Chain A
Amino acid sequence: NAGVTQTPKFRILKIGQSMTLQCTQDMNHNYMYWYRQDPGMGLKLIYYSVGAGITDKGEVPNGYNVSRSTTEDFPLRLELAAPSQTSVYFCASSYSPLVLGKRYTEAFFGQGTRLTVV
């Protein structure tokens, strides 16, 4: 059971380039999330999805786009990369509380993608 897998682990982009961060999970979780982690700032939610075909903005969505065509995959797209997007990006997933008949469900994180924009 691989859990949440992110690729690539590291990437250097030039200003103005585009790229897609890949995230896939094999736990059949219906909820998925993208966070960015900056030093001393904790984790900020970029986008999230409650199921295939449904996405919504988090706290810091500007400069990013997502799609959710399958339950397993939740790619994050960066268009026109900027130095402010230098960060560590984490994908996470969880069950909907309703699926497990619980009010609270744990979020599982991928290993992260360290992105540098120069």
Chain B
Amino acid sequence: GENVEQHPSTLSVQEGDSAVIKCTYSDSASNYFPWYKQELGKRPQLIIDIRSNVGEKKDQRIAVTLNKTAKHFSLHITETQPEDSAVYFCAARITGGGNKLTFGTGTQLKVEL
């Protein structure tokens, strides 16, 4: 089955700096890569996603890049703010089979003032 690895497990940045979280996946059949943000004690919520036929997608301060050849994708957050502090999960989905997602182990992002 699919395996998703995520790095780093913790990330601390100064407010205003950029943050980058990286994920790799194992199954070349994966074609959809969402990113979820989970604030403390809350449910995961989708913040951005990318399809396998797209190399980059941007939404205001967040962007995701995908390298299909290398089987890795990354989340970029620019001009970080304290409210960006949360756990971020990457995930991958293989076509068919109930739309199931395989998640990475999460990155705890802390934005310091």
Contact = CB atoms under 8 A, between A and B. Distances in A.
B110 interface: no
Given A42-B104, A42-B105, A45-B100, A111 B42 contact: yes
A109 B46 CA distance: 9
B9 A40 contact: yes
Interface residues of B, number: 26
A105 to B, nearest CB: 6
Interface in B44-71: 44-46, 49, 51
A111 B4 CA distance: 24
A31 B44 contact: no
A91 B89 CA distance: 16
A40 B87 CA distance: 10
Q: Which of B6, B42, B98, B101 has the most CB of A within 10 A?
A: B98
Interface stretch (A11-19, A20-28, A73-81, A96-104): A96-104
A33 B44 contact: no
Given A94-B99, A109-B44, A104 B93 contact: yes
A61 interface: no
